[in-house]
Structure formats: structure tokens, C-alpha cells
Amino acid sequence: MTTRWIATGLCHDLPNGVVMAGRWHDTELAVWRSASGKLAAWKDRCPHRGMRLSHGFVRGETLSCIYHGWVYGTDGGCKHIPAHPSLVPPKAIRAEAFSCVALDGVLWLAPADVSEAPPRLGGLRPVRSLSLTCGLAALMAAESALAGKDILRGSVTFGGHAVEICLLVQPKPDGITLHALCGASADLVAVSRWLEALRFKAEEKVAE
């Protein structure tokens, strides 16, 4: 399945009041949740002087840049400039927004003009994210039970049980990040260990 949506993390990794770095293909993003849980994703570049907004901090329903403290609302508009406290910031000062959706325990990113909905993964449980220094080809070579491109799925047997596995692939400059989900009745610790072993095997494939 091909989609413009890319998973950038699992919902449990982004609690309310927290900002984290995200990525949509080569575009670096700041992804954050306000105190009330509203999600936003913007290009990771402050409209003032380009500081990474993912280095900023969330206060209530706003995100503040760590450099000169400009304050942005969840709509991306600048609300306050500390050096000019009585100034109403012009509407043109705004962070460049991406679409960000939390669905089935996954944080999905896409350009703001995306028309389709994110893929549904109902019935699966989020496990964890992990980064690999190899590409998709090495991962597929390491585990033949998985099929797909951006979303790998398959039934994998370990510990004497067949477990449904779903891996969401996020490209990054030096490899891939996987966001893993599994069948509802699977043992999360066992799946997490299997993922570690898979990473080792896939990275070894590159070295062969």
C-alpha cells in the first residue's frame, strides 16, 4: 500500500505538554501536544531566525521557541514576542504546518494538503519504536515472513507461538526507524525482544 502518511512515532511516546522531533521523508518537523492534548506538527524551523522548534517548550496551549521566546499557538500563528510585549504579532508570522493525526496508537504525518485518511491498524497494539542503521532491503532479507513497503505485515513465529506483526517504516538519512505493533494477545516483552533480535540480524546482513 502506498500512502502519503508516514508514521513518526507511537502515541505513548508523546504525552500532553511535550514536543519531539519528527520527520516526513527529508523534512524535519517539530511534533507537539498542548497541555489539553491538541496535536500539531510544523517544519522544525522558527519563523524568526530558524532555531529548531523541537528544542522549544510547551506551556499550556502554546509552544515557545527556545532562542528568543516567540510564542506560537496550536494553529501555528505567532501569539507573543517577548522583546515587544505590546505588539500584536502580524498574522503572516506563522510556523509551516503539516497534518498530524493520532490513530490506533500511532502518530501519522503528511503534508497539509493531504486528502486521504491515514491507514487504519485496528485490532493491533503499539509496542515500541526502534532505529536501524540499515535499509528496508536488509530488513526484508532478515525476516521473510514480512511483506509490504511502507507498512510491513506478517505472522512471525517465536517462543512457540505465531504472532501478528506490523512494522511502520519511517525513512531517515542513515537507515530506517520502525514503529512496531502486534496482535492484541501477544506478549509485549517477547515481541520487544524479537524486534531487538531482528534489528541485529538486519544490520548484520549489511555487514555480510
Pairing relation of β-strands 27-33 and 106-111?
A: unpaired
Of 56-75, binders to ligand FES (CB under 6 A) are 65, 67-70
Name which of 69 and 89 has its Cβ closer to ligand FES. Answer: 69
8 A C-beta contact, residue 151 and residue 165:
no
Name which of 72 and 98 has its Cβ closer to ligand FES. Answer: 72
Q: Does 46 bind ligand FES (CB under 6 A)?
A: yes
Residue closest to 181 by CA, chosen among 7, 2, 1, 4: 7
Name which of 5 and 42 has its Cβ closer to ligand FES. Answer: 42
Show the cell assigned to 16. Answer: 500532553
DSSP 94: B
How big is the site for ligand FES, counted in residues (CB under 6 A)? Answer: 9
Q: Does 51 bind ligand FES (CB under 6 A)?
A: yes
| 6 DSSP β-pair partners | 109
CA 44, CA 33: separation in Å to the nearest integer?
A: 15
Q: Does 32 bind ligand FES (CB under 6 A)?
A: no
Show the cell assigned to 128. Answer: 515500541
Please, what is the minimum distance in Å from the beta carbon of residue 92 to ligand FES? 15
Q: Which residues bind ligand FES (CB under 6 A)?
A: 46, 48-49, 51, 65, 67-70
